[in-house]
Amino acid sequence: MKNAPKRLWLVLAFIFFAGILKATLTPITIGNWTATSSLSQARSNGSAVLLNDGRILFTGGDSGSRALQSAEFFGADGSISSAGAMNVARSHQFAVVMSDGRVLVGGGNTTGGGTTSSAEIYDPGANTWTATNPMTSARANATAAVLPDGRVVIAGGDNSGAPSNTIEIFDPSSGNFSFAGTMSASRTQHSMAVLQDGRVLIVGGTDGTNPLPSSDIFDPSAGSATAREKKTCAAVFLAISRGTTLP
């Protein structure tokens, strides 16, 4: 019992100093959203990509009444500045940063509501857009991803509302698009991810009427897509989250 008063004093001292720290330390808030600069042009259904220099490039979209041709930057300091305008006004387009830092933008709905097969490349260093060869199919709401070898795979989407099941590949060295196979289902507004082994998962979306639970795996080396059973979709996402290889 001799140590009881000593322990009591230690507890009281701890509480005292804890109270001082709580009163003097500035609370750290995490997980909050902070308003930043507004875009210079109101736009929806556009695209945004992170450039190698840390800026974010916003392209196209629509103003509510028309497709937009403009593009702009969001800087690391939170500022908004204008970028060179695209050659074609477009919304619901895809945009992807290629291995060399340039940005490939293609497809989408353009002036008058038609779907375009046109594509163009943005050079951040020169702030210029250069038209490249058109895609093999006109498509909006498609997905695109850079393959390990630097080529870009584009899948699905829709042409004037009709979903597509086709896949094509863009080769930056030639500037050409080429047909690369078909998916097991026509799909638009779907998701795409490049797996660790270089294959590409294409999943979900809609067939124009109903949401889709199905998925495909595209193998660039074989140039073909293989359907995965609906019941394995959950296993696919679990494998991706764990970084494991899909069969």
Rounded (to 5) percent helix, strand, coil in the chain: 15, 35, 50
Over range 59-86, report the average pLDDT. 95
116 and 172 share one domain: no
The answer as to whether 1 is a domain residue is: no
The answer as to whether 228 is a domain residue is: yes
The answer as to whether 73 is a domain residue is: yes
The answer as to whether 149 is a domain residue is: yes
pLDDT of res. 112: 86
The answer as to whether 58 is a domain residue is: yes
Q: Which of 59-63, 177-181, 182-186, 232-236 has the lowest mean pLDDT?
A: 232-236
146 and 128 share one domain: no
Over range 62-69, report the average pLDDT. 94
Identify the residue with better confidence: 60 or 18.
Answer: 60
Round the average pLDDT of the chain to a whole number and report it: 88
Position 32 confidence tier, pLDDT thresholds 50, 70, 90: confident
Kindly report, residue by residue over 103-145, the tens digit of the pLDDT: 999 999 999 889 999 999 999 999 999 999 999 999 999 999 9
The answer as to whether 16 is a domain residue is: no
% of the chain at pLDDT higher than 90: 74
The answer as to whether 179 is a domain residue is: yes
167 and 104 share one domain: no
158 and 194 share one domain: yes
- Say whether pTM exceeds 0.85: no
128 and 149 share one domain: no
Q: Count CA atoms within 13 Å of residue 104 on its CB side.
A: 30
Tell me if 137 sits within 8 A of 166, measured CB to CB.
yes
Position 11 confidence tier, pLDDT thresholds 50, 70, 90: low
85 and 170 share one domain: no
Residue 233, Cβ density class (10 Å: 0-12 exposed, 13-18 middle, ≥19 buried): middle
The last residue of a domain, from among 132, 159, 186:
132
pLDDT of res. 231: 44
| Phi, psi (degrees; rounded to nearest 5) at 121 | -120, 130
The last residue of a domain, from among 132, 151, 171:
132
Tell whether the model's pLDDT for residue 48 goes beyond 90.
Answer: yes
123 and 173 share one domain: no
- Positive or negative, the CA dihedral 75, 79, 85, 89 is positive
84 and 148 share one domain: no
Residue 235: give the domain boundaries: 142-242
pLDDT of res. 99: 97
Q: What angle do CA 230, 231, 234 make, to 5 degrees?
A: 100
Kindly report, residue by residue over 184-243, the tens digit of the pLDDT: 999 999 999 999 999 999 999 999 999 999 999 999 999 899 998 664 555 555 555 555
Tell whether the model's pLDDT for residue 245 goes beyond 90.
Answer: no
DSSP 77: T
Quote the number of domains for the chain: 2
